[in-house]
Amino acid sequence: MASSLEIAKKAKEAFVDDSFKLAVDLFSEAIDLSPNDANLFADRAQAHLKLNNLTEAAADASKAIEIDPSMAKAYLRKGTACMKLGEYLTAKEALEIGTSLAQNDSRFTKLLKECDQHLADFQPSTVPASVASKLSDTTAGILEESKKGCCMSQQISTITSVSPKYSHGYYQKPEEVVVTIYAKGIRANNIVVDFGEQILSVKIGVHDEDAYYFQPRLFGKIIPDKCRYEVLSTKVEIRLAKAEIINWPSLEYSKEIAVTQKVNVLSVESQRPAYPSSMPRKRDWDKLEAQVKQEEKEEKLDGDAGVNRMFQDIYLNADEDMRRAMSKSFMESNGTVLSTDWTDVGSKKVEATAPDGMELKKWEY
């Protein structure tokens, strides 16, 4: 039986010969034999990029980073895939960390410049939630009815894939989308779920059966840190935290639907609401929005919310070196260290540090 190194060598030869599909298949065989080899996932990500399998490429690159956070090429491939998917914030974060690991690689500099240009061109197209929360009781009643409608919306569809074959469905609330994959008897250690800025990646591997993949590009952006999933006896339930409180007309992104949604939102935003009043005056919504933002800025938060606000303010007001230091130290230390000194952390790997009275424990998957 061939070893993973021998199979990986054949995969690389297939890649050089532009046989990218064969390369993916061979890398997959090698990964089955060596599931903790970050290089295999990073190389398969590159093959997926050549085939324009962008969600698969992003998922493989993320797995490589999870195994080896110091692998520069994994950040490059994740950044490339996310940029092609339009996930520029996620791409920028990956590329900045990659730049710190490979400072002489001009590819990172070029992609970061392109990414910054896309972010500069981006214009938000939704009504600010802060303003919506301050609308009159009449508007609040309308929004409440719309929320009830959102909660009732549900769509069930069947996924056509290689064995095993599962169906999935979803429903949504104003703040989250709940995706259900009807997979009976699946063990928790046989499923891997990853969350991106606008990507959901699910892999279910069952003994003696081909792995099942569900990797849609989602209709809207999500907050990965707030997403979670639970493996039950008859299904896998995945909860996606929406980045914006808007109704998703579908689970997966569609350019046609997105354009229609954007036009509708812009139309609503351009027509500032006017409500019946005994006073012959108009309400200045721009001024109200500015007041709400100022109130939020001056609001004093306690506990975890206050700490989170402090870190957000530090990051927003930091220069590029401070941001790179924060991203690198937080990621490499598994969330136990947060440094703003790039001269201290830029040239070394940041080790995880446990709080006083506690000890680090590495979880095995």
- Please report where in the chains the tokens 């260290």 appear, as a residue: 337
Q: Kind and range of the H or E element at 23?
A: helix 20-33
pLDDT > 90 fraction of the chain, expressed in percent and rounded: 24
What are the Cα distances from residue 71, in Å, to 134, 215, 225, 306? Answer: 47, 24, 22, 34
Query: Interhelix angle for 54-67 vs 38-50, to 10°?
Result: 160
Residue 300's pLDDT is: 64
> Residue 66 pLDDT more than 80?
yes
CA 227-230-233 angle, to 5 degrees, is 160
Q: Which residues contact 183 (CB under 8 A, 6 or more apart)?
A: 164, 166, 191, 204, 212, 235, 236
Highest mean pLDDT among 71-75, 287-291, 297-301: 71-75
How far apart CA 116 and CA 121 sit, in angstroms, is 9
pTM comes to 0.40
The Cα 319–Cα 152 span in angstroms is 45
Highest mean pLDDT among 113-127, 210-224, 233-247: 233-247
Q: In Å, how far are 37, 238, 325, 361 from 364, measured between CA atoms?
A: 15, 22, 28, 9
Confidence of residue 116 (pLDDT cuts 50, 70, 90): confident
Lowest mean pLDDT among 83-97, 135-149, 344-358: 135-149
pLDDT at 321: 83
Residue 285's pLDDT is 66
Q: Rounded to whole angstroms, how far apart are CA atoms 27 and 7?
A: 7
- Give the pLDDT band (50/70/90) at residue 278: very low
